[in-house]
Amino acid sequence: MSFALHKKKGDKVADSIIYSVLTIFGLVTLFPLYYVFIVSVTPYIEVMKNGGFVIWPEHFTLQAYKEIFGSPRIPQALKITVFITVVGTALNLIVTTLLAYPLSKKFIPGRNFILMALVFTMMFSGGIIPLYIMVRSLGLYDSVWALVVPGMVSTFNLLIIKTYFENLPAEVEEAARVDGCGEFSTLLRIVLPLSAPIMATIGLFYGVTHWNEYFKGIFYISDKTLMPMQVVLRSMIQSPNVSTELSVNSLVLDALPPETIKMAVVVVATLPLLVIYPFLQKYFVKGALLGSVKG
């Protein structure tokens, strides 16, 4: 009995240490996000008085957000990013699912060859220059579709969905076929409703990739009105003249420090993902485990 009591005390001490370490780690992780937001709502005078480092301002201001949303550059970039995220993710899921479902059936002729060809692309690629030439030859250069069409299917995500489909009970699909459902009807009415966790997980993978799109925006877009949010954010951070990047009169921004404007843009660029992720987290963990690729 004393051993059990001692063990319980030891467990409590261990739990306290673990929770303390996790709490400290969480605070360290969240502090950069907190600091970015605080600087974005801190008045210019207070930023200068504290040498540019503010933990909790005495006064708050939303002037930086008013200026960035009052300029034509940030709202336009945000529209482009939202478009490629929503439309791109939807197309990614549709095409990946339509390819993964038949590949999950072992009786499909040429299945192994197609899988080997897809896996080959994970290890070797044609390179950036051939892809750039292909995008230009297809007439996608300086188009939002250049941010969506290349990389329509991720082989890694395809294999996860394929494995998930293979783990579904075969009896369910057989019962659907007995009831007169064809392959497409079975996929639409039976398989997809059972695959909500993996679809949410892969949708999150694709969505985060599109929202953080950067390299394609640099390679395939020269028109500033078509640049996604991350490209505009990089331009603002590197530029010494924020007013030029925002396409507004410099006199308007004289009352605001450049860092405040830049931090406000960072908040706008990251906040949507921070808001959406908690709602998909339960599907994310379950889908990743059930759809994991087995050796």
Average pLDDT, integer, range 67-78: 84
| Gap between the Cα atoms of 110 and 42, Å rounded | 62
Lowest mean pLDDT among 12-21, 65-74, 241-250: 241-250
pLDDT score recorded for residue 97: 94
| Gap between the Cα atoms of 180 and 196, Å rounded | 24
| Gap between the Cα atoms of 154 and 96, Å rounded | 8
| Gap between the Cα atoms of 34 and 23, Å rounded | 15
Handedness of CA 12, 18, 21, 23 (dihedral sign): negative
Q: How far is CA 66 from CA 19, 53, 229, 244, in A?
A: 40, 22, 17, 16
pLDDT score recorded for residue 10: 63
In the chain, the domains with their CATH numbers are 72-295 (1.10.3720.10)
- 272: which 2 tokens? 């949507």
pTM: 0.80
Average pLDDT, integer, range 85-97: 94
Between residues 211 and 59, the one the model is more confident about = 211
At 10, phi and psi to the nearest 5? -65, -40
Question: What are the pLDDT digits (tens) for 109-136?
Answer: 888 898 898 888 888 877 788 888 988 9
Quick one: 269 exposed, middle or buried, by C-beta within 10 A (0-12, 13-18, 19+)?
buried
Question: Does position 35 have pLDDT exceeding 90, yes or no?
Answer: no
* pLDDT, averaged across the chain: 81
Question: What are the pLDDT digits (tens) for 240-275?
Answer: 666 666 655 444 455 566 777 888 888 888 888 888
Question: What are the pLDDT digits (tens) for 141-186?
Answer: 999 999 998 888 889 999 989 988 888 888 887 887 877 778 888 8
- 29: which 2 tokens? 């992780």
> Which band of pLDDT confidence, cut at 50, 70 and 90, is reported for residue 99?
very high
